């Protein structure tokens, strides 16, 4: 991979190249001097000045290379060395004019030193100073003109063209050469200015490119940050959707369990309704039997009246009464057992009502956990709770009525047992006392009154049983509506769950795109 270049390294390379040119010219002059060195030439000012110039050039080159170690740029030394280079060439040419007319004429005609003028002038452009190069061209032109003037003072004449025999040199070529030095200096300095301007434009473009790169890096960093934030938000939302989906699935399972419990409750309520219907039929039968019993008691009362009027028929009537009272006792025992069964049924209904209330409370708690999606279910649960409470109240009232009825029947049964005993006694004493018959008649009348009250109470219980039956039917209808609502809620929860899975899939796609964006921003 090539080493990255900058302005400093370019300037340092120019300074080193100027030193290498200086050392190269020093070595070239050394070879030139060595080729023409003999005892006679060693005495001339030209050879002596060239030897000194070679030494100065080599020393300057060595010092320059030492000072430029480590890619340093000693600008002051390089500029001074360029002035020294031009001065050395000018002084060598001036020194050569002091070796006589012949040697001065040869020096003027020979253009080697003039070429060295141009080489040092052009190499000064490596310093990078247009002003220095132009001033060196003026300085070199002055030195060259001075040397030509000294050639003329040494005896060489100016003419239209060079004539060695007459020691005449052409004036026009020297004027052109002198002007050419200045022109070359101007051209080179103009090139340096253009190059500097181009460098400034390039540097400005580099700064703009650097600013653009920094801006792009900033945008890239912002894009990476945005991708990271979006990735974190996406993961958080994905976690939220997964949690919500899990909760919805839990609610769906709980709803299925609640639906199963509701179905069981509906079946239990239907069974309770059938039981209540059976109880109602039993009450109706007891009411019919009680009416018949009332008629029997009325007949007994009439018979007792007849017994009072006709003592002769008392014994047979008493036997009839005894048989009737024993039947009444059995009937009351049956009624007592029936009401005991009713009491058990009311206990079952109370337990069902309590379980229904507890179930509605659990459903309300689950609905509260479900939030807005369980609000409709909470309303249904509240209605179920109210219906259970109303059923419980009705059952408790029925229980109280049945308890009172049992107490009344028990009292009637005891009285019937007593009547049997009294009837047996009266059968033995019928002939002895008519008062016993009258007492029996009073007891029968009292029994008829009790039986009439019992019949009225049975009518009330039958009405209440009808209310309980209607309540049970309403409860069953409500439970059926609740089951329908729960099924609808189950379908909605299933649809929400499927939509959540679809949303989760979309979020996973977004997450993958965010990952690609992060990889792109980090590349």
pLDDT score at 296: 66
5 has pLDDT over 60: no
pLDDT score at 164: 59
pLDDT score at 1: 42
pLDDT score at 451: 66
CA distance 2 to 15: 21
DSSP3 helix / strand / coil % (the chain, rounded to 5): 90, 0, 10
Contact 214, 494 (CB under 8 A): no
Alpha-carbon distances of 482 from 6, 228, 263, rounded to whole Å = 85, 49, 10
Q: Please choose, from the candidates 136, 106, 135, 96, the residue with its C-alpha nearest in 3D space to the C-alpha of residue 118.
A: 136
pLDDT band at 2 (very low <50, low <70, confident <90, very high): very low
458 has pLDDT over 70: no
End-to-end CA, the chain: 21
pLDDT tens for each residue of 334-351:
777 777 777 777 778 777
Alpha-carbon distances of 463 from 277, 281, 284, 347, 357, rounded to whole Å = 12, 12, 10, 19, 25
pLDDT tens for each residue of 72-81:
767 788 788 8
Q: What's the mean pLDDT in 323-331?
A: 77
Q: What's the mean pLDDT in 14-26?
A: 75
Percent of the residues in the chain that have a pLDDT greater than 90, as a whole number: 0
pLDDT score at 293: 64
pLDDT score at 163: 62
pLDDT tens for each residue of 257-305:
766 766 776 677 667 667 767 666 766 776 676 677 667 667 767 766 7
């Amino acid at each position: 991979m090539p080493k990255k270049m900058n302005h400093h390294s370019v300037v340092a390379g120019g300074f080193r190249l100027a030193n290498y040119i200086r050392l190269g010219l020093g070595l070239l002059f050394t070879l030139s001097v060595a080729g023409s060195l003999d005892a006679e030439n060693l005495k001339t000012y030209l050879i002596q000045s060239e030897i000194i110039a070679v030494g100065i050039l080599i020393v300057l080159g060595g010092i320059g290379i030492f000072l430029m170690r480590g890619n340093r740029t000693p600008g002051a030394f390089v500029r001074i060395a360029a002035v020294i280079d031009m001065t050395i060439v000018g002084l060598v040419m001036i020194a050569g004019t002091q070796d006589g007319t012949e040697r001065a004429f040869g020096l003027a005609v020979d253009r080697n030193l003039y070429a060295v003028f141009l080489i040092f002038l052009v190499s000064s452009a490596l310093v990078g100073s247009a002003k220095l190069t132009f001033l060196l061209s003026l300085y070199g032109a002055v030195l060259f003109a001075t040397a030509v003037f000294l050639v003329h003072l040494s005896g060489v004449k100016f003419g239209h063209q060079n004539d060695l025999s007459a020691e005449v040199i052409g004036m026009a070529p020297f004027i052109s050469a002198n002007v050419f030095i200045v022109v070359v200096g101007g051209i080179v300095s103009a090139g340096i200015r253009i190059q500097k301007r181009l460098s400034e434009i390039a540097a400005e473009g580099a700064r703009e490119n650097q600013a653009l790169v920094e801006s792009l890096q900033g945008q890239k960093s912002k894009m990476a940050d945005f991708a990271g934030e979006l990735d974190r938000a996406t993961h958080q939302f994905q976690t939220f959707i997964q949690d919500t989906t899990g909760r919805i699935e839990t609610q769906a399972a709980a709803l299925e369990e609640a639906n199963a419990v509701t179905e069981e409750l509906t079946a239990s309520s239907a069974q309770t309704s059938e039981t209540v219907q059976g109880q109602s039929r039993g009450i109706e039968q007891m009411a019919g039997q009680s009416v018949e019993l009332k008629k029997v008691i009325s007949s007994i009362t009439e018979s007792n009246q007849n017994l009072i009027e006709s003592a002769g028929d008392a014994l047979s009537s008493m036997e009839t009464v005894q048989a009737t009272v024993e039947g009444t006792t059995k009937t009351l025992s049956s009624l007592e057992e029936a009401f005991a069964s009713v009491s058990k049924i009311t206990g079952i209904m109370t337990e069902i009502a309590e379980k229904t209330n507890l179930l509605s409370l659990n459903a309300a708690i689950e609905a509260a956990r479900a939030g807005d999606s369980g609000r409709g279910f909470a309303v249904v649960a509240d209605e179920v709770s109210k219906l259970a409470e109303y059923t419980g109240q009705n059952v408790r009232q029925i229980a109280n009525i049945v308890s009172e009825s049992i107490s009344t029947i028990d009292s009637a049964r005891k009285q019937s047992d007593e009547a049997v005993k009294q009837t047996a006694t009266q059968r033995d004493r019928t002939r002895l006392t008519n008062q016993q018959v009258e007492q029996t008649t009073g007891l029968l009348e009292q029994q008829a009154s009790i039986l009439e009250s019992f019949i009225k109470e049975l009518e009330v219980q039958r009405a209440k049983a009808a209310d309980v039956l209607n309540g049970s039917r309403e409860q069953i209808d409500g439970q059926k509506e609740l089951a329908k609502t729960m099924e609808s809620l189950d379908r909605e929860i299933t649809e929400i769950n499927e939509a959540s899975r679809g949303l989760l899939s979309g979020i996973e796609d977004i997450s993958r795109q965010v990952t690609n964006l992060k990889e792109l921003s980090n590349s």
